[in-house]
Chains A and B, each alone.
Chain A
Amino acid sequence: MAGYPIKETIVEEGALESPMGRRILRHTPVRSIRRSLEGSTRDNMGKDALHLLHHRGEFLKPCPGTKEYICCGYQILNVATNCPLDCSYCILQSYFMNQPNLRIHVNLEENLSGILACIDNSPHQIFRVGTGEFADSLALDPIARWTDILMGPFSTRKNAVLEFKTKTTNIQGLIASPYRDRIIVSWSLNSPLIAATEEKGAATLKQRLEAAGKCQSEGFVVSFHFDPMIAHENWREGYLKTIELMDRYLNPKGIIWISMGSLRFMPDLKRIIRKRHPRSVILNGEFITGLDGKARYFKPIRMELFHFMREKLESWHRDTGLYLCMESNEIWRKTMGWSPGNSNGLKRFLDDRVRKIFG
């Protein structure tokens, strides 16, 4: 099952009343099924326990961002929480420490019409929607079949795009789908060292880029996220190597956007990282407290990271929709040579990319 061993499945009350819940259970080779949460394992955040439940809140929500930095105006489609990968820097470790297990919201299909109505009710707004904020978009797709559920409806809407963000090679569902329009397949990338040592369970960089190339050849628009960038020893050589790999496997003309963001984390996450990933090097950099209360690299270090990447990516191809995630106007100007000014400006820039690529 996609390389992620599920040792047990926890089924919350009502979850099997949903067709999605029943379908998942039918196709899940599990060792045991429980209906209670008591005794649920927490040491590994329940990364080997599938948990089927109804999501009680809103499915579609704007990314909260923060007023202190420029945010892209993304919409999060909350189809699942937690992830079978175990990246040392993952923010979900603190978000979901008390909500363990790979939680799949099996009432997605019942709520889909409401989600789409919300999009249809604002025809002049472009909804850039992603499922990869609280979970990897594709890691559990062979079980959850989100590609089956979501690609059709999103593909037919002219004011929305759906981005599947992943570090896996689980593209079977995408490829099998007849839909291509308005679908973006996206990979998180990093330097080879970080990908190999800090992204446990993820596909290698080469595998990710091969999968991206395959998606391009299958007619998909792709995007990439260098986030979190880590200022590790010899990071320049490392990130350059990744760009060289991109050049080997990808056609840059088919890229809708590439984002860059440096490592940032709420102070509480540090303890969790030290405990869960004692060999990690990601906390070794020079961090300060940012305007949003999160730890982030001292400004000149971020500037060096972004300036270097911008220069190298632009020398590969000038039009990849390069943008910064959660950065200040000053950093934008000094590293990118321009700034969207504020979150609305960045939203407009990315919406224009959608129009340019998808029409």
Chain B
Amino acid sequence: MFTTRKQYEPYISPFDPCPPIRVKTYVTAPNLYVGFQPPNLPQFPLREALMKGTLWQVFYDPYYSPYETKTKGDGS
């Protein structure tokens, strides 16, 4: 399997004007890993799929603001 959030720690200068963000995150969406979609992948129930934006569980990767919710944008 794969993860859809990656982290890195940028260099922090002792002279930075703002409080440093020590860990930066970025998104690596599922479409980077699946290649040509193989047959018979698991699906969401139809009504759920309409709301989620995809029929295929493997491609469902919702994004939440790291500033707003308890579900962090870094996927943790």
Whether both chains belong to one complex is answered with: no
